[in-house]
Amino acid sequence: MQFITPLVRGQLIRRYKRFLADVKLESGETIIAHCPNTGAMTNCAEPGFTVYLSESASPKRKLKYTWELAQNFDGHFIGINTHNANKLVAEALNNKSLPLFNCVSHWKAEVTPPGADSRFDFMLQEDSTIGYMEVKSVTLAQSGIGYFPDAKTSRGLKHCNELARLAKQGVSTKLLFCVQHTGIQEVRIAELIDPEYATAVSHARRQGVEICAVGCSITKEKIAVNQTLPVIT
């Protein structure tokens, strides 16, 4: 996923009210940027981090800048915009970037299976088999380990339980963690943050849901899915 226009570099002053961030640009100007991330953003939004913003020319935009990337004090890039996770996976599906996607002949975004209560990120067709995949963005990192979720997630719990129900019926299902952090080498479920979700993931795996993770290469020019990562549950 190539950024359409060059990103604007700055330094994070603070993130607040979930959707706002004060950033000091290299010009010395301090601006308010939109933060497209509803999570806790633990270890992703420390004052002093280098940040990269996309700039909109639309006069209808209330905030001109959107926070896309952070670079922590160890130099690792973090994808702040959680909306990009599905775009990255869609690109990887189209490009057959990983063996995980080699057998997918057709896909469609935002699909509700027949009789289901949840809409999933992707419908995947492999030969004549139809399956469903839900994608979650991972940015919480501690000592090279990525954790999900970074806050309690009722939506994630609902999706996980629905995937388990479908898997029990024999439907092909995947829960995919898209890691937007270059310092993460493996993914684990954050049981201390949301024990109910951790229990649901373990149950889903026992029912036959495939739990997998992909990592990304990230630069200030582009982000791309480039590897599979182990998931420890």
For residues 151-178, give the mean pLDDT.
Answer: 96
Q: Is the dihedral of CA 223, 225, 226, 232 positive or negative?
A: positive
Using the predicted structure, report yes or no on whether residue 167 has a pLDDT greater than 90: yes
Within 8 A by CB and 6+ apart from 166, the residues are 113, 116, 132, 173
Using the predicted structure, report yes or no on whether residue 50 has a pLDDT greater than 90: yes
Within 8 A by CB and 6+ apart from 39, the residues are 82, 139, 140, 149, 150, 151
Residue 160 is predicted with a pLDDT of: 97
For residues 89-110, give the mean pLDDT.
Answer: 95
In the chain, the percentage of residues whose pLDDT exceeds 90 is: 93
Tokens at 124, concatenated? 């995947």
Question: Within 10 A of 141 (CB to CB), how many other CB atoms are there?
Answer: 23
Measured CA to CA, the distance from residue 48 to residue 150 in angstroms comes to: 21
- Output 124 or 57, whichever has higher pLDDT: 124
pLDDT band at 25 (very low <50, low <70, confident <90, very high): very high
Tell me, what amino acid is at 167? A
Using the predicted structure, report yes or no on whether residue 59 has a pLDDT greater than 90: no
Residue 129 is predicted with a pLDDT of: 92
For residues 197-216, give the mean pLDDT.
Answer: 98
Residue 60 is predicted with a pLDDT of: 87
Residue ranges and CATH numbers for the domains of the chain are 8-78 (2.40.50.580), 84-232 (3.40.1350.60)
For residues 74-96, give the mean pLDDT.
Answer: 96
Radius of gyration of the chain (CA): 18
Using the predicted structure, report yes or no on whether residue 135 has a pLDDT greater than 90: yes
Place of tokens 């991972």: 138
Tell me, what amino acid is at 130? I
